[in-house]
Amino acid sequence: MSQGVNFLRVIEVCTLGILTGFLYYDVGNNSSYTGLSQRVGLYFFSTTLWTFTRMYPAVGFSHNWFSLSLVELKRRPSSLGPIVLGRLIVVLGLESLWPMVYVLVCYPFAGVFGSIKIVILVGLFLLLNNLCYISLGSVLGVYSKRIPQGMIASTIFSQTSLVAAGFYTTLPPALDWIRYISPFYWTFRGILKSCLKWNDTLECIKGSSEVGANQCFLEYHPAIDQYKERGLHVATYNDSSSDSISLEFVALILLLFILNFLIYAKAWVTCKRFERQPDPEDVQERRHALPVLNTNQ
């Protein structure tokens, strides 16, 4: 059964990669302004795909997992650590491979396989994004009393984090902080930084003397200015932050840790509640041990 499920998962991921690759076929070799928009669209679609694909199933799975784990936690509170850690290891083991498989299948068709380093970086960002949203779905599944409530909360949280990424519009100043707790924002920013460099060139009507009569530096594309206004500093000359992706990796790992800590905290609070509650069997034994008063005298 497990081998069958894994085989079907391979078919699913490879099929998605092939379809996406054909939809964005050879966009990496299109050096026009339209080609840049299509490449960014590919990066955005890939990030979106590995946001929702496994998050919603995680809500129901984690809700049922926590309900079953309550029985063991009530009987043996000391098993809290192994139960939570075991779940985390299983999730990491089962879900870490697929984003990389998707990238290795999709991106050669799209013509953005020029550097294996960039492909690996994109795969790692999608991997962390996938794990963060699986963890988000798991948190909402564990904390929700019913699965439909967790599904509704997942939609609200995921769509909010999507808008906060800066792809669609600029957030009002009062809501600007939301982007920093959005895994999608850090993932999309990291992918753009990995794939777009300021010295990349595009075809244009009046080019720069440094790169050619009909070539312009990527930095001068209007979309780059829009991204800067939305907190996505990419492809900027003499700006070291537009090339560094360390902050994006650290932010995603930190969000992943916080989300899984929330799952542990819920299980820990539940264990403490069980410890404060008297054992029904113990109460029954104490009742039998009480002396029986004879009221007939």
Evaluate whether 54 touches 133 at the Cβ level (below 8 Å): yes
The stretch 88-116 carries a mean pLDDT of: 84
The stretch 108-129 carries a mean pLDDT of: 86
User: What are the CA-CA distances from residue 183 to residues 13, 50, 73, 107, 130 (Å)?
Assistant: 21, 11, 31, 22, 9
The region that residue 235 occupies, defined by phi over 0 for left and psi between -120 and 50 for alpha, beta otherwise, is: left
Secondary structure (3-state) at 88: helix
Question: With bands split at pLDDT 50, 70 and 90, how would you rate the model's confidence at 240?
Answer: low
Q: Locate tokens 């609200």: which residue?
A: 156
Question: With bands split at pLDDT 50, 70 and 90, how would you rate the model's confidence at 251?
Answer: very high
Evaluate whether 194 touches 122 at the Cβ level (below 8 Å): yes
Question: With bands split at pLDDT 50, 70 and 90, how would you rate the model's confidence at 238?
Answer: low
> What pLDDT, in 10s, does the model give residues 171-229?
777 777 888 889 999 999 899 888 887 667 777 766 555 655 667 767 767 777 777 77
Percent of the chain with pLDDT over 70: 79
The stretch 87-115 carries a mean pLDDT of: 84
Q: Which pLDDT value is given to residue 286? A: 38
Question: With bands split at pLDDT 50, 70 and 90, how would you rate the model's confidence at 290?
Answer: very low
The stretch 121-141 carries a mean pLDDT of: 93
> What pLDDT, in 10s, does the model give residues 20-62?
989 998 888 877 777 788 888 898 899 999 988 889 989 998 8
Which of 133 and 288 is assigned the larger pLDDT?
133
Q: How far apart are CA 20 and CA 43, in angstroms?
A: 11
> What is the per-residue DSSP string for 212-254?
-TTEEEGGGSHHHHHHHHTT---S-TT-GGGT--HHHHHHHHH
Q: Which pLDDT value is given to residue 52? A: 86
